């Protein structure tokens, strides 16, 4: 046991007497001493019933509840890779994420690998000598097969037809340019796709972190996206805390901890499987506030059987975290390879969670880039990020013109 300096005991008693509370002082001291030792910062809270914990958190808006373990990067790495673990004394190697600008350029290569890109097929038809009705039908079919959706397909073809006729364009490069302009307009060149991740000032003037909730059906790539997004933010010199509120799948918290550890980012998680997600989310946001970080990214579970359950869980996460800082972004993760099916599920999430942006994952696994257009139309929110592969830096900010250049090849 450490020796307690007398001066600190006297100071502690003074704090206790002045209303700070002895327990608070002891906790603060224990925390400081843990930090000084450089050990894992584990906040053990008394085990209580999850329902008690949550209602208390909600009512009080005060200190967090449940057993929440904060995994500091070094500890997480040692856990994730026991066989390859370095001697404990060595500090973990923190990776430097790749720069964010220009990542979407990789799309062209990725799409080329997943089949003939939409743009190439369209251009093949458009470069025929004289365009017959059959050719226009073929274009329509290609666009529909690419998941652009019926309405946008008709719009694009009507406009393109008129311009080709009026301008009398036959030169393939001029036709390509017209098609490019039409596609960029359809994808939405002037939508606000910026991520709102600026810290804000609370009512008392205190600095509050931006809170980003990541929601969506399981298996779409939520946890991976949170990990990749943490790297994007770190690459932009922002400080980040992760919240593992997907308490349904135990491995999700481990997965997230490993992602965070690789770039020196802490993960707040529960050591109880099936713990209350709202409680973990609250703790993560409170930790972000206390540590004055810029952004708290919260991973959530998607395995909910019905709309009422989903509404309850996500609604509660939003309510509870808002007691510290309201989410500035709710990102819906969608798997681009699931097409229409994914959209049906996405609509439910969009209805219940107040989605502010879409992350379209696995765009590298489909030649159907048209889903971007349909998703935005159906849900009325912009695609802000796209997943281009399983690599740690395969997440790119979305840009309409770069995207169209990618699919036109
Ligand atoms: N090719 C490709 N694979 C991806 C992309 N994003 C995620 N994945 C893969 O998709 C799989 C599922 O990802 P997770 O992040 O575990 O999905 P989740 O939505 O968190 O799943 P649950 O935790 O079960 O809800 C993993 O194998 C990821 O590597 C992407 O952009 N491209």
- Residues contacting ligand 1 via CB (< 6 Å): 218-224, 246, 249, 252, 302, 361-362, 364-365, 387-390, 394
CATH of residue 179's domain is 1.20.120.140
For 11, 12, 386, the CA distances from 7, given in Å and listed in that order, are 6, 9, 56
CA–centroid distance, 332 to ligand 1, in Å, is: 13
For 237-277, the pLDDT digits (tens) are 999 999 999 888 888 999 999 999 999 999 999 988 789 99
Q: Is residue 63 part of a domain?
A: no
The pLDDT of residue 114: 63
**Are both 355 and 242 inside the same structural domain?**
yes
The minimum-distance atom of ligand 1 relative to the CA of 226 is 15
> For the residues 53-62, what does the mean pLDDT come to?
44
Task: For residue 207, give the 3-state DSSP assignment.
Answer: strand
Task: For residue 387, give the 3-state DSSP assignment.
Answer: strand
Domain count, the chain: 2
CA–centroid distance, 406 to ligand 1, in Å, is: 22
**Are both 249 and 365 inside the same structural domain?**
yes
**Are both 136 and 209 inside the same structural domain?**
no
DSSP state of 82: T
Residue with CA closest to ligand 1 atom 21? 219
**Are both 183 and 204 inside the same structural domain?**
no
pTM, to two decimals: 0.79
Quick one: pLDDT band at residue 12, thresholds 50, 70, 90?
A: very low
> For the residues 307-318, what does the mean pLDDT come to?
85
Ligand 1, pocket-test mutation among 107, 213, 219, most atoms within 8 A of CB: 219
Higher-pLDDT residue of 310, 390: 390
Q: Could you please report the per-residue DSSP string of 349-403?
A: HHHHHT--EEEEE-GGG-S-TTHHHHHHHHH-S-EEEEE--SSTT-EEE--HHHH
Chosen domain end from 154, 187, 220: 187
CA–centroid distance, 211 to ligand 1, in Å, is: 22
Residue with CA closest to ligand 1 atom 22? 218
Q: Is residue 359 part of a domain?
A: yes
CA–centroid distance, 232 to ligand 1, in Å, is: 17
Q: Which of 12-16, 89-93, 267-271, 287-291 has the lowest mean pLDDT?
A: 12-16
Separation CA 100–CA 224 (nearest Å): 17
The minimum-distance atom of ligand 1 relative to the CA of 301 is 25
The minimum-distance atom of ligand 1 relative to the CA of 224 is 15
Given a cut of 60, is residue 60 above it in pLDDT? no
Where do we find the tokens 């449940």? 66
> For the residues 112-117, what does the mean pLDDT come to?
66
116 Rama class: left (phi>0) / alpha (psi -120 to 50) / beta: beta
The pLDDT of residue 112: 67
Nearest to 217 by CA among 354, 343, 374: 343
Residue with CA closest to ligand 1 atom 13? 221
CA–centroid distance, 120 to ligand 1, in Å, is: 28
Q: Is 303 labelled as part of a ligand binding site?
A: yes
**Are both 205 and 156 inside the same structural domain?**
no
Q: Is residue 229 part of a domain?
A: yes
Domain carrying residue 365: 200-400
Nearest to 407 by CA among 104, 199, 189, 161: 104
CA 407 and chain centroid, separation? 24
Nearest to 256 by CA among 269, 273, 237: 269
**Are both 139 and 227 inside the same structural domain?**
no
**Are both 258 and 360 inside the same structural domain?**
yes
The pLDDT of residue 274: 80
The pLDDT of residue 69: 72
Separation CA 319–CA 326 (nearest Å): 8
**Are both 176 and 293 inside the same structural domain?**
no
Separation CA 298–CA 225 (nearest Å): 11
CA–centroid distance, 387 to ligand 1, in Å, is: 9
**Are both 169 and 222 inside the same structural domain?**
no
For 139-176, the pLDDT digits (tens) are 999 888 888 889 999 999 999 999 988 888 777 788 88
Chosen domain end from 134, 166, 187: 187
Separation CA 148–CA 407 (nearest Å): 13
The pLDDT of residue 52: 37
The pLDDT of residue 90: 53
Separation CA 299–CA 133 (nearest Å): 49
Chosen domain end from 187, 210, 242: 187
Q: Is residue 159 part of a domain?
A: yes
Q: Is residue 24 part of a domain?
A: no
**Are both 352 and 395 inside the same structural domain?**
yes
Given a cut of 80, is residue 234 above it in pLDDT? yes
Given a cut of 70, is residue 37 above it in pLDDT? no
CA–centroid distance, 220 to ligand 1, in Å, is: 5
Residue with CA closest to ligand 1 atom 8? 221
Q: Is residue 275 part of a domain?
A: yes
Q: Could you please report the per-residue DSSP string of 219-265?
A: TSSHHHHHHHHHHHHHHTT--EEEEEE--SSHHHHHHHHHHHHHTT-
Q: Is 223 labelled as part of a ligand binding site?
A: yes
**Are both 318 and 213 inside the same structural domain?**
yes
Separation CA 298–CA 126 (nearest Å): 46
With contact defined as beta carbons under 8 Å apart, do 114 and 365 qualify?
Answer: yes
Host H or E run for residue 361? strand 357-361
Nearest to 160 by CA among 189, 182, 139, 130: 182
CATH of residue 392's domain is 3.40.50.300
The pLDDT of residue 214: 96
Separation CA 392–CA 76 (nearest Å): 17
Tokens representing 124 are 């093949």
For 184-200, the pLDDT digits (tens) are 999 999 999 999 999 99
Within 10 angstroms of residue 51's Cβ, the number of other Cβ atoms is: 9
Q: Is residue 139 part of a domain?
A: yes
The pLDDT of residue 91: 56
DSSP state of 4: P
Tokens representing 248 are 């349904």
The pLDDT of residue 115: 63
**Are both 226 and 315 inside the same structural domain?**
yes
Q: Is 216 labelled as part of a ligand binding site?
A: yes
Separation CA 230–CA 224 (nearest Å): 10
Within 10 angstroms of residue 137's Cβ, the number of other Cβ atoms is: 12
Q: Is residue 92 part of a domain?
A: no
Maximum separation of any 2 CA atoms in the chain, in Å: 94
């Amino acid at each position: 046991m450490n020796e307690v300096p007398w001066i600190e005991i006297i100071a502690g008693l003074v704090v206790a007497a002045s209303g700070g509370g002895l327990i608070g002082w002891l906790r603060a001291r224990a925390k400081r001493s843990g930090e000084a030792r450089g050990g894992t910062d584990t906040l053990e809270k008394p085990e209580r019933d999850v329902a008690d914990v949550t209602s208390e958190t909600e009512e009080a808006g005060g200190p967090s509840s449940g057993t929440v373990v904060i995994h500091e990067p070094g500890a997480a790495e040692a856990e994730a890779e026991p066989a390859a673990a370095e001697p404990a004394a060595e500090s973990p190697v923190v990776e430097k994420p790749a720069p964010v600008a220009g990542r979407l350029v990789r799309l062209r290569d990725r799409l080329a690998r997943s089949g003939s890109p939409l743009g190439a097929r369209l251009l093949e038809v458009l470069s025929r000598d004289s365009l017959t009705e059959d050719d226009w039908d073929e274009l329509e079919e290609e666009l529909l097969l690419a998941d652009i959706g019926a309405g946008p397909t008709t719009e694009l073809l009507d406009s393109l037809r008129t311009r080709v006729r009026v301008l009398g364009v036959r030169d393939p490069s001029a036709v390509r340019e017209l098609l490019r302009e039409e596609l960029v307009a359809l994808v939405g060149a002037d939508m606000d796709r910026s991520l709102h991740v600026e810290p804000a000032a609370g009512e008392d003037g205190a600095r509050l972190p931006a809170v980003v909730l990541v929601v969506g059906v399981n298996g779409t790539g939520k946890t991976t996206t949170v990990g990749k997004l943490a790297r994007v933010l770190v690459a932009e010199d922002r400080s980040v805390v992760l919240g593992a509120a997907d308490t349904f799948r135990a491995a999700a918290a481990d997965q997230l901890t490993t992602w965070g550890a690789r770039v020196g980012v802490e993960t707040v998680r529960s050591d109880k499987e099936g713990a209350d997600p709202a409680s973990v989310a609250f703790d993560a946001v409170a930790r972000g506030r206390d540590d004055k970080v810029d952004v708290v990214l919260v991973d959530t579970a998607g395995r909910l059987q019905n709309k009422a359950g989903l509404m309850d869980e996500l609604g509660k996460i939003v309510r509870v975290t808002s007691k510290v800082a309201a989410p500035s972004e709710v990102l819906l993760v969608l798997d681009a390879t699931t097409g229409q099916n994914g959209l049906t599920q996405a609509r439910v999430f969009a209805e219940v969670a107040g989605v502010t942006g879409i992350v379209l994952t696995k765009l590298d696994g489909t030649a159907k880039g048209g889903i971007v257009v349909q998703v935005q139309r159906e849900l009325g929110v912009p695609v802000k990020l796209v997943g281009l592969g399983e690599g740690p830096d395969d997440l790119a900010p979305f840009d309409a013109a770069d995207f169209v250049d990618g699919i036109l090849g």
